[in-house]
Amino acid sequence: MNLENVRIVLVGPLYGGNVGAVCRAMRNMGLNDLAIADPRPLNMLEARMMSCHAEPLLRARRTFDTLAEAVADCGLVIGTSARRGLYRQHAKPPREWAPTILEASETGKVGLVFGREDKGLSNEELALCTHIVQIPTTDEAMSINLAQSVMICCYELFVATDVYEAPQEKSGEAPSALRERMFGLWRKMMLDVGFMEEDKADHMMMGLRRILGRGVHTVDDVKIMMGIARQAQWASSRANSREKESSTGLTG
């Protein structure tokens, strides 16, 4: 899957901060082709500040007088729109368009187009688009910040590439014998520190098993819980020894 061939196109952005934040979002998700159509004067100090570590991408941006020029070499052109109507009925969320965009990017450039902060894309500009993306929102607040819209779309593309691998648990499932050793340590510790009496121990241990069973599964998890129990026993034993020494001293 080739994100190098996906171009983010901003049409007439009004605020330098948004352009900088777009660059940061693109860098987070592995895109690096930014074009600005119908450019306007921008606060570049604000743009650089919001771009964070993506300032090279900001500097590498290209500008075009019109959207038609910015997407002239793109086979697939995806326009974003929050408005609904007759010519937007084929709009789909970014997640549904992502596989189509990635497939098209294997053989050529794809333009992902975002409109102005105040009024989006014009009908003439949308006419240049082969597909329309609509980010799901509540009916009461359909307008999304420009940089946030770019991040949502870029995120869906990045996830669809299957490049990202979630961290895997390195510690294996704890065997039953090890878990029982843990529960034995906790039983003794809770008795030693006076948390429960012997006649209530079985009942309390059933509760503890239910609690720990919901989240303590791996060898590392169990060893941590065993370490806590041992440390608590040591602290309790030390406190009891000091108490006995103090009592003996007073008696003598």
Distance (Å, rounded) from C-alpha 26 to C-alpha 153? 10
State the pLDDT at residue 87: 58
Question: From the DSSP assignment, how many helices (H) and strands (E) are in the chain?
Answer: 10, 6
Is residue 165 within 8 Å of 103, Cβ to Cβ?
no
Total length of the chain? 252
Contacts of 223 (CB under 8 A, 6+ apart): none
How many CB atoms lie under 10 A from the CB of residue 73?
10
Partners of residue 34 on adjacent β-strands: 8
- Residue 252 reports pLDDT greater than 60: no
* Nearest Cα to Cα of residue 54 among 69, 75, 33: 33
Q: What is the mean pLDDT of residues 161-187?
A: 85
Distance (Å, rounded) from C-alpha 34 to C-alpha 114? 11
- Residue 167 reports pLDDT greater than 90: no
Contacts of 213 (CB under 8 A, 6+ apart): none
Is residue 93 within 8 Å of 135, Cβ to Cβ?
yes
Is residue 7 within 8 Å of 110, Cβ to Cβ?
yes
How many CB atoms lie under 10 A from the CB of residue 197?
10
Is residue 3 within 8 Å of 158, Cβ to Cβ?
yes
Lowest mean pLDDT among 118-122, 149-153, 213-217: 213-217
**pTM for the predicted model, two decimal places:** 0.72
List the structure tokens of 212.
């720990």
Distance (Å, rounded) from C-alpha 21 to C-alpha 58? 10
Is residue 13 within 8 Å of 19, Cβ to Cβ?
yes
Hey, CA dihedral for 205, 211, 216, 217, is it positive or negative? positive
Q: Under CATH, to which class is 3-160 assigned?
A: alpha beta
Q: Where are the chain's structural domains?
A: 3-160, 176-251
- Residue 188 reports pLDDT greater than 80: yes
* Nearest Cα to Cα of residue 63 among 41, 84, 90, 35: 35
Three-state secondary-structure class, residue 77:
strand
Is residue 113 within 8 Å of 9, Cβ to Cβ?
yes
Q: What is the pLDDT of residues 113-137, one digit of tens each?
A: 999 999 999 989 999 999 999 999 9
Band of pLDDT at residue 195, cut at 50, 70 and 90 = confident
Band of pLDDT at residue 86, cut at 50, 70 and 90 = low
